[in-house]
Structure 1
């Protein structure tokens, strides 16, 4: 059983093929970072147009590397949401057309389900149930994954996502776009203890988070001009890490989940990884991360999610081309449709 996955939810075009026995056969990813850096953020119309240019050449490369002909596939999976609607519709249109032409099912995949299953690309030990900390530019959520298609939202950011806060803070420090990785590199050179920023919402119960106030605290520190940019970057990264680690600890305690998954673009952050590994180790809970290349959006996680759904009896999405810009993960079921 082999599934082709297509990811076009935002500013990365991903295509991959996953085999039920052999695992990942081939994958390609094209990032639009250089395109959007000119504007300081993602421009939806430009993102959609670039997906159109990139998707078919990437598809040909993946099929050639995997040594697979289209009709030999078991299904074509595509990201149906959430994301930028125009970008989503680009991938959905191509996937639906390919599936129709090859005579195979087309499977609509939830982008966040792809992220939370991504560790399975490298580590087959992971099994349901588990707790998920999903940290990306658009989402910061704590999710209890009971079974495939059965997810409970335990807590989330009530304003900026962690990745969004990283990018906005980087902009305050003059680091350009995308700012998260640049901020983390700068933080590695910052002096420890020279500045302490607030840990939002840790003084109250619950699992929700907030990062907009932390961004304001950074702005105040920058305006005072008393701290080196590297010290501010380190203090910010430490504050985000401490907040996410403590909220995740509380979620593990409340849910009694036997394993922890950390996924999304911010899951590649080394300080966060170290903090979560130490916390989970103290709790006696194994923690699973995707490899850094699969923390960001990619076609491999969509192919894997499609494969898992196909194995569970997932249905073809039908001939209609649909996508959802907003799609709460808690609405997902094994028989979901967009």
Structure 2
């Protein structure tokens, strides 16, 4: 299955193409749920974290698991690539040490520990522009870090479970909690938010917040099963999609397609849904035998998204379902 990115699927994403998508490949050898996954921005690598206390590195075009690293002592919950494709930052899951860790997957060495949170880290985002990252915790703090320094560089207090994310340029980050999305200038965050947007009275706990690749849209998921889409410049709430609510220990995750036109999302009953953001129409839904929301992320630059539950699945268009090839470039 070796393919270069641009020859993967020489077609444009459309309602018809998205509706045809199904699992093209699955890794079923997880004995635990996948709690987090991240695609590297500039390579074909994927990293996953799972309840069986392992971190796995995959080569996507060759459908290969390159490496499995166990973190038995600390457990592993959230994982993110740094700019380097074999270095990750991850949060622990053991309930007694909430440090974040910078880990080299090459030689399984810890390069740095980041200590500061006193409760579970529930959100993690790395700046695409430099070595900075932000973490949000159930201890109601958001900490700002520099990967080269063990001590946090800044602290922001919040009044709820924070969801955090940088935009694609790394110039702005957002913190969402309790029905509001707060926008910060990454270079002068200590001045406080430069904008505060309301998500229409939904004060359910924030789960994940993300920017579209062009920075124009923000999505926010909440525990009661709402996926809100906002205009990131004007702050207007453009649409809200509703799925089954999630339980306290689960996270509802959704992801923009690379062009920002579609959203794929998990659901509290394990299903996967897709919507067209422009006309707010539901494009597809896929039932699951799972009963918890999968983690879900679009593969950068490819016509493919990944879901992680008790197995890792890659979703691709089923060409036999496409009546015409009018969508081919």
Q: Does TM, normalized by the shorter one, top 0.5?
A: no
> TM-score, normalised to structure 2's length?
0.28
Higher relative helix content: 1
Specify which structure has the bigger relative contact order, considering alpha-carbon pairs within 8 angstroms and separated by 6 or more residues.
1
Higher relative strand content: 2
- Between structure 1 and structure 2, the one with the greater Rg is 1
